[in-house]
Chain A
Amino acid sequence: MNRLHPALRRILPQLITLVVVLGCNVLVFPDFFKIEMANGRLYGSIIDILNRGAPVALLAIGMTLVIATKGIDLSVGAVMAICGAVAAAAVAGGSDVATAVVLALCAGIVCGLWNGFLVAVLNIQPIVATLILMVAGRGVAQLITEGVILTFTNEGLIFLGSGSLMALPMPFLIWLGFGVLTAILVRKTALGLLIEAVGINLRASTLSGVRGNVLIVAVYAISGLCAATAGIIVAADIKGADANNAGLWLELDAILAVVIGGTSLLGGRFTLAGSLIGAMIIQSINTGILLSGFPPEFNLIIKAFIILVILIIQSPIVQSVLFALRMPPDRSGDDAEPNRDDRADERDHSMQKEGMAP
């Protein structure tokens, strides 16, 4: 296990969880891994998971960065609705697909900048700051669609939601590409390190000459961009912008994907790959429940139960027990154990800090 690349070792628990969830899916649906080729594209449950998981995966990318700065973005579902509406309205108004997409992405970035402004400049707590847009955003989307489901027939835009390239569905390629680009952006530059530093100790980072507030605004902008992309895909998929239902509750799935992925809500160290796997775990559960043929009224209960089990397995107490069982007390322990102690300490401190904040 110690021979694994550190980055891979970090997301090993998430990978194991994904394999277990997929294994369960095979139990309830034997044809689960069957993949067929038809009309020049692949079909099958796995492909379906990669395709349907696109919105949550995209949201999870932005959410990971936001959470790494000790923030949270509740508005992403509403931003999806806004941006889907913008794209739909643009093509309905006669724009070409490129213009529509650019307009929608810009709308997402503006939404993100607004959130970042509230959090970084006005110092509003992230959960409250983004709640504002979460509530108002659907209203904005409804204004854009004028209260109806704004349908469109633009082939180019529809292609983004249901087309395929190299036999793979577009939504999958989009989130994968977005994930890889973001990973390169944060890990090949110093952005990732600076985001983590800001998330762990904003004061110390700022005193070290890091532009903490600019970074915070930037991660919310990225989150808005991710939400815009997800919104375009969802609108393109149903060939219309539904201001009321597009992206509804998806912010919670995205947060869950980040948490399952192994990034702490306390900020700091983050893993994009973990969050993407987390998104796929959630989608696998959704797809698995549908395929299993359980009565649909059980779906949410089963989903909640599976997620509870995953989170219990990942909880510090269970992890330290597993750790003690697995590792004789020698050098190979690395940093895993102390890190966990540290987290506990951090929690105590943050309790105190909140009290002391002016």
Chain B
Amino acid sequence: MLLQGKSITKSFPGALALDAVDFNLLPGEVHALLGENGAGKSTLVKCLTGAYRRDAGAILLDNQPINPRSTLEAQDLGIGTVYQEVNLLPNLTVAENLYLGRQPRRLGLVSTRRMNAGAREILSGYGLQIDVSRELSSYSIAIQQIIAIARAVDLSGKVLILDEPTASLDATEVQMLFSIIRHLRDDGLGIIFISHFLDQVFEICDALTVLRNGRLVGTAKPADTSRLKLVNMMLGRSLEEEIHKEKDRTASVDPVQLQFKNFGRSGHIKAFDLDIRKREIVGVAGLLGSGRTEMAELLFGAVGHDSGEALAEGKPLRLTSPRAAVAQGFAFCPEDRKRDGIVADLSVRENIILALQGQRGWLRALSKSEQTAIADGYIARLDIRTPDCEKPVGQLSGGNQQKVILARWLATNPRFLILDEPTRGIDVGAHAEIIRFIEALCDEGMSLLVISSELEELVDYSQRVIVLRDRAHVAELTGDAITTSNIIRAIASDGHEDKVLAS
């Protein structure tokens, strides 16, 4: 046994996050850790790596009890972690990142030459031939992820914990990462793999452990289980009706609500025409970097447009800033929740009323009781899992943070809601819930523009799908033409066949 956790228990004020959870990792094994948001996956990992101090239980590494008090100590013991958001310094070079804190020295000075040579050697072991003296940020997230893994393995060398490593990678990059993971596994490393993508779990993992509400549900071999069983284990309920949802989305016959004519910005996204009807969901598909987020930012006024105009029922709209857009009844849930969405230190209540208060202006304050009423209303309606509305939103899980941001916009009663990757990095349960909300909001008469890299999802709820490529609209699919294969064909056409769709 390489790494063993024995009845690890951890409680936070008001919640038992881990309840006597056992966890066993063999050398040369890729072990998936699965569970809904808030199931206790990250808490378990943080206990194992010393980021949290456990309340009870034992950790054994190579059958020796260990007691890491910090991630640094765990690293020295042999347990390295790579997080979803790459935890390196983007403004340093690749080599500096690999050697940060242990740069080779010559006469007391850092020897850049030896550092770069060492970095090249480390990375060649990963099949990566890149210029190590360039800044980390000049490389793609996938490369950065591999560099983070290389650093963790080089520092630790026994156990590698990967927290959602594939969340921002496209399919080719995922395959590149997987071949590295397999390689490390064959070298005898124990790898803990946390992911929401069940396909990937089945593809790469040798064992899986499922947590729910801080309890161990079970451990299994992928060969002995099925997707459905796994989902059942994770949710504690059957999801069958969700998976086989019949789709009866017909094209909206309601009047056009918003018109964007020749709307664009040079260097950002090529000018496009877009009509959005009332009670309509328009899906947007495209590879990472195809201009999806740029389009959303442009529509919301976060980036000014330099051509074209926007009309609402024939009257021109001023969309020069997010504030102006909000005043027109626009709302925007951004892709990067942490950076653009939540205000982490503020409470759930304050986060929910933020846009509404911004709209009302600072003079017309919502009273505390009004705020609580609004917040509690959305906590109940969206099933936001929080002990109360005063908890800082940064302490909620990703899915719940997403719901808080959704609540923030619903509180302003928008007519046009832009959702950029609303289900990214969210567990299966919250995923289904959010899709249900998208459909419910549409039925209530709202117009929605949903950007997603999950094509099945787009096909499921969109009445129209716009396909982007190289920062331009390249196709618009309607009705029966909305199929995943049509979308892929539109994305891949025109000499782009080699690119595979974002997962």
Where the two chains meet, the residues of A that have a C-beta atom closer than 8 Å to any C-beta of B are 188-191, 193-194, 196-197, 200-201, 203-211, 268-269, 329-331, 333-335, 337-339, 342, 345-346, 349, 351-352, 355-356
- The reply to whether A209 and B392 form a contact with Cβ atoms under 8 Å apart is no
Q: Nearest Cβ in chain A — how far from B499, in angstroms? A: 26
Residue on B with the closest CB to A330?
B13
**Quick one: which of B344, B346, B362, B390 contacts A189, CB cutoff 8 A?**
B362
**Quick one: which of A191, A210, A330, A337 contacts B354, CB cutoff 8 A?**
A210
Known: A204-B343, A208-B355, A331-B14. A190 touches B394 (CB 8 A): no
- Taken together as a complex, chains A and B put the C-alpha atoms of A220 and B188 apart, in Å, by 58
Residue on A with the closest CB to B339?
A203
Interchain pairs with CB closer than 8 A, number:
122
- The reply to whether A211 and B365 form a contact with Cβ atoms under 8 Å apart is no
Residue on B with the closest CB to A187?
B365
- The reply to whether A193 and B350 form a contact with Cβ atoms under 8 Å apart is yes
Residue on A with the closest CB to B325?
A209
- The reply to whether B392 and A190 form a contact with Cβ atoms under 8 Å apart is no
Given contacts A190-B366, A191-B362, A207-B302, 11 further A-B contacts (CB under 8 A): A200-B346, A201-B339, A204-B334, A204-B343, A209-B412, A210-B323, A211-B358, A268-B345, A329-B13, A329-B55, A356-B90
**Quick one: which of B11, B365, B408 contacts A208, CB cutoff 8 A?**
B408
Q: Nearest Cβ in chain A — how far from B256, in angstroms? A: 25
**Quick one: which of B11, B325, B362 contacts A194, CB cutoff 8 A?**
B362
Main secondary structure of the interface of A (DSSP, over half): helix
Chain B residues lying within 8 Å of A196, measured Cβ to Cβ, are: 343, 345-346, 350
- The reply to whether A338 and B395 form a contact with Cβ atoms under 8 Å apart is yes
Chain B residues lying within 8 Å of A268, measured Cβ to Cβ, are: 345-346
- The reply to whether B332 and A342 form a contact with Cβ atoms under 8 Å apart is no
- Taken together as a complex, chains A and B put the C-alpha atoms of A349 and B394 apart, in Å, by 12
- The reply to whether A331 and B90 form a contact with Cβ atoms under 8 Å apart is no
- The reply to whether A211 and B392 form a contact with Cβ atoms under 8 Å apart is no
**Quick one: which of A201, A338, A355 contacts B392, CB cutoff 8 A?**
A338
- The reply to whether A210 and B358 form a contact with Cβ atoms under 8 Å apart is yes
- Taken together as a complex, chains A and B put the C-alpha atoms of A188 and B366 apart, in Å, by 10
- Taken together as a complex, chains A and B put the C-alpha atoms of A189 and B358 apart, in Å, by 12
- The reply to whether A338 and B13 form a contact with Cβ atoms under 8 Å apart is yes
- The reply to whether A207 and B365 form a contact with Cβ atoms under 8 Å apart is no
- Taken together as a complex, chains A and B put the C-alpha atoms of A335 and B344 apart, in Å, by 13
- Taken together as a complex, chains A and B put the C-alpha atoms of A331 and B360 apart, in Å, by 36
Chain A residues lying within 8 Å of B307, measured Cβ to Cβ, are: none
- Taken together as a complex, chains A and B put the C-alpha atoms of A20 and B390 apart, in Å, by 32
Q: Nearest Cβ in chain B — how far from A144, in angstroms? A: 34
- Taken together as a complex, chains A and B put the C-alpha atoms of A334 and B366 apart, in Å, by 24
- Taken together as a complex, chains A and B put the C-alpha atoms of A191 and B89 apart, in Å, by 35
- Taken together as a complex, chains A and B put the C-alpha atoms of A333 and B11 apart, in Å, by 12
- Taken together as a complex, chains A and B put the C-alpha atoms of A222 and B107 apart, in Å, by 53
Chain B residues lying within 8 Å of A339, measured Cβ to Cβ, are: 345, 392
- The reply to whether A207 and B340 form a contact with Cβ atoms under 8 Å apart is yes
Chain B residues lying within 8 Å of A356, measured Cβ to Cβ, are: 90-91, 137
User: Can you list 21 contacts pairing A with B, beta carbon distance less than 8 Å?
Assistant: A190-B365, A197-B343, A197-B350, A208-B322, A208-B358, A209-B325, A209-B359, A209-B412, A211-B358, A333-B13, A334-B13, A335-B390, A335-B391, A338-B12, A342-B344, A342-B395, A351-B89, A355-B90, A355-B91, A355-B92, A356-B91
Chain B residues lying within 8 Å of A346, measured Cβ to Cβ, are: 344-345
**Proximity bits, B396-415, A CB within 8 Å = 1, else 0:** 00000000000010001000
Q: Nearest Cβ in chain B — how far from A187, in angstroms? A: 9
Cβ of B363 < 8 Å from any Cβ of A? yes
Chain A residues lying within 8 Å of B322, measured Cβ to Cβ, are: 206-209
Chain A residues lying within 8 Å of B366, measured Cβ to Cβ, are: 190
Residue of B11, B361, B364, B366 with highest tally of chain A CB at under 10 A: B361
- The reply to whether A269 and B345 form a contact with Cβ atoms under 8 Å apart is yes
- Taken together as a complex, chains A and B put the C-alpha atoms of A337 and B391 apart, in Å, by 12
Q: Nearest Cβ in chain B — how far from A265, in angstroms? A: 14
- Taken together as a complex, chains A and B put the C-alpha atoms of A352 and B412 apart, in Å, by 33
- How many residues belonging to B are interface residues under a CB distance threshold of 8 Å? 49
Going nearest first, the 6 A-B pairs with the smallest beta carbon separation are A209-B326, A333-B13, A210-B358, A355-B91, A190-B365, A209-B358
- Taken together as a complex, chains A and B put the C-alpha atoms of A356 and B11 apart, in Å, by 35
- The reply to whether A197 and B326 form a contact with Cβ atoms under 8 Å apart is no
Give chain B interface residues in 321-369, CB to chain A under 8 Å.
Answer: 322-323, 325-327, 332, 334, 338-346, 350, 354-355, 357-366
- The reply to whether A335 and B392 form a contact with Cβ atoms under 8 Å apart is yes
- The reply to whether B357 and A190 form a contact with Cβ atoms under 8 Å apart is yes
Known: A200-B345, A204-B341, A338-B395. A211 touches B14 (CB 8 A): no
- Taken together as a complex, chains A and B put the C-alpha atoms of A207 and B326 apart, in Å, by 9
Chain A residues lying within 8 Å of B338, measured Cβ to Cβ, are: 349
- Taken together as a complex, chains A and B put the C-alpha atoms of A314 and B408 apart, in Å, by 34
- Taken together as a complex, chains A and B put the C-alpha atoms of A194 and B346 apart, in Å, by 10
**Quick one: which of B11, B355, B391 contacts A329, CB cutoff 8 A?**
B11
Residue on A with the closest CB to B13?
A333
Chain B residues lying within 8 Å of A210, measured Cβ to Cβ, are: 323, 354, 357-358
Q: Nearest Cβ in chain A — how far from B332, in angstroms? A: 6
Chain A residues lying within 8 Å of B327, measured Cβ to Cβ, are: 209
- Taken together as a complex, chains A and B put the C-alpha atoms of A331 and B12 apart, in Å, by 9
Q: Nearest Cβ in chain A — how far from B84, in angstroms? A: 13
Give chain B interface residues in 74-91, CB to chain A under 8 Å.
Answer: 87, 89-91
**Quick one: which of B91, B346, B392 contacts A197, CB cutoff 8 A?**
B346
- The reply to whether B394 and A342 form a contact with Cβ atoms under 8 Å apart is yes
Residue of A200, A204, A330, A346 with highest tally of chain B CB at under 10 A: A204
- Taken together as a complex, chains A and B put the C-alpha atoms of A158 and B327 apart, in Å, by 50
Chain A residues lying within 8 Å of B326, measured Cβ to Cβ, are: 208-209
- The reply to whether B357 and A193 form a contact with Cβ atoms under 8 Å apart is yes
Chain A residues lying within 8 Å of B55, measured Cβ to Cβ, are: 329
**Quick one: which of A200, A337, A338, A355 contacts B89, CB cutoff 8 A?**
A355
- The reply to whether A201 and B344 form a contact with Cβ atoms under 8 Å apart is yes
- Taken together as a complex, chains A and B put the C-alpha atoms of A190 and B346 apart, in Å, by 14
- Taken together as a complex, chains A and B put the C-alpha atoms of A12 and B363 apart, in Å, by 30
- The reply to whether A200 and B343 form a contact with Cβ atoms under 8 Å apart is yes
